[in-house]
Structure 1
Amino acid sequence: MSGPIRRSIGLTHKRLTNYIETYKITVGKTTQPLDEIDNSSLIILYGELKLHLNKIEKTISYLESIHQSWIHFITSLTSDNERIREIRIYDDFLKEYSDYTVTLETAKDTIDEINNLKKSYKSELLARKEEDNLSQDDFSSVKETPIMTATYSAPSAQSAANSTLAYLPPVTIPPFYGDITK
């Protein structure tokens, strides 16, 4: 019964792992101190950080929502035997396919790391702006951007069996103007 949920978790978990690895490879390229990086490269790196942050945050949000769906499904089962069987499936899934909640925690740490790098890059760019080493055009992409942090606390299937609430992330829908090509 929870097959589609497990399949979605597996695919999303793999995507999140790939995003984290890609970020680490990108950051691994830039081992220079900030004051040795030229303005245009620093702006490009800052933009890349924003893209990595966006991808990882969205994937975390989606994986958490799927996780909550599974927990809600387990708690909504009326038969104790079905609930126990589904909890066993949940535990076996975590053992067999790796614990995706650990990856969520790693992703949260990665988001903290990205936010810290963004702050240091932004501070360096602002310092260069004050020294007039950065043109106004270069600076336009570094304006104030909100820093979002993902929080996650993974309830176990046993403790979640008593809870009946499911938390879903907000969904934004783009406006439709009547023409499918727009």
Structure 2
Amino acid sequence: MARGRLVGSTAATTIGVLRGVRDLDAPTPCAEFDVRALLGHLLTWGPSLAGAGRGEAVPPLEGVRVGDDWAERVAAQVEDVAAAWGDDAAWEGTTHMGGPTEMPADLVGGMVLVELLVHGWDLGRASGQRPEWDDDVLGFALGEVAKTADQGRAMGVYGAEVVVPDGAPTVDRVLGLTGRDPRWKP
């Protein structure tokens, strides 16, 4: 499956999860965020992620509030990110992610897919849902996280690795590399 389609598939699952979120004050597996703060994070960084897919340096938003229209806003932002990265040309050359530093576009695209997948899982777990991604998405995500996990931990983006059993499902391996416990429950 082309990388652009992988992002679209990942985004569709995340949007499906959004429709099942009810309690904005619920804890999430992402220790620093409850559901409301995680939605704010997605709204804050969404324009930067979409801009990166278009080769534009778009700074993250400031002062984002999660109001009553959060579901429509977050879904629209996720759709915009998926549209920007849906074109396989977005994965070529270099791009910017929220600032002036150029980065390889394929690296940023992989980070975007993982962001959508992991935060979709976070929101799913926080709201009692069990999102599922197809094997192509999970295999790609695992490869991307494996390449960047040490850097992500050094930057404070990922927590310490959570060791999962040999033979664990691919999604559990992705989550463990990002510092999430696949067995987490609210």
TM-score, normalised via structure 2 length: 0.29
Q: Per residue, is there more helix in 1 or in 2?
A: 1
Structure with the bigger RCO (C-alpha within 8 Å, sep 6+) is 1
Q: TM-score, normalised by structure 1?
A: 0.29
Kindly name which structure, 1 or 2, has the bigger radius of gyration based on alpha carbons: 1
